[in-house]
Amino acid sequence: MFVVEDQPALLRQLIKALSVFPDLEIAGSSMDASSALEQVPALSPDLALVDLELPDLDGLELTRRLKRARPELEVLILTAFDDEQKVYEAMVAGASGYLVKRVGPEKIRSSIQEVMDGGTVLEPVIARRFWNYFQSVQGRPQAEPAAVEAKNPWGLSPVELEVLWYVARGLSNPEVGKVMSLQHRSVRTHLQHIYRKMGVNERVDAVVLGLRSGCVTL
């Protein structure tokens, strides 16, 4: 894991608090985006914990650049901002989760694990506001179920559509597997097929396209 936080005291607190968990290894840290862009490719962490307020580039642009450089890198936003527009922008930029700094170390740890398991992390209150905001951004009503198949230009199979439907509701891979009676590995495989067909690299991008087309409804 790589931590990006511009406040020295908070950065030290984060590293100290997260270092007590034996399943978390902190590969490096940075107080600005430029240093993060230099270090992350060399260190090859699995996940970057990123603040939105940075002195050079903001966390959104850093997320976009990190994802372009290493698409397999997971990004978890940890910031003071809790408004839905920031959440929307972060998820579109490629983040897999969004936490507000009021959460404790145990929540950060569990969120990191959920993201690494293929899930998307949003605090419940933020999640509701995020999806409401997303629907307002769409600017048009959702399709009726009968029209879903007609709005599936990527040829997603019924199972893939169902997986995407659950993912759009914020379920992690293990949760999707449980409700669909699929193995966790099978869910990941279905998602990979969905990404390939839709021409995207991230679950949020797939959900955004699905919602816009109407093949996925909330």
Q: What is the mean pLDDT of each run of 10 residues along the chain (218 residues)?
A: 96 95 95 96 95 92 90 91 79 85 91 86 69 56 44 89 83 80 85 92 82 77
Q: Which of 170, 86, 162 lies closest to 122, judged by CA?
A: 170
Task: Show the tokens assigned to 75.
Answer: 């990004």
The predicted structure's pLDDT at residue 38: 96
Let me know: does 48 contact 33? Beta carbons within 8 Å: no
Is this prediction's pTM over 0.75? no
Question: Please, what are the domains in the chain?
Answer: 2-133 (3.40.50.2300), 141-213 (1.10.10.10)
The predicted structure's pLDDT at residue 175: 77
Burial 191-210 (b: 16+ CB within 10 A, else e): beebeebbebebbbbbbbbb
The predicted structure's pLDDT at residue 194: 94
Distance CA 91, CA 97 (A): 7
Let me know: does 137 contact 88? Beta carbons within 8 Å: yes
The predicted structure's pLDDT at residue 150: 53
Neighbour count for residue 90 (Cβ, 10 Å):
27
The predicted structure's pLDDT at residue 197: 94
The predicted structure's pLDDT at residue 134: 61
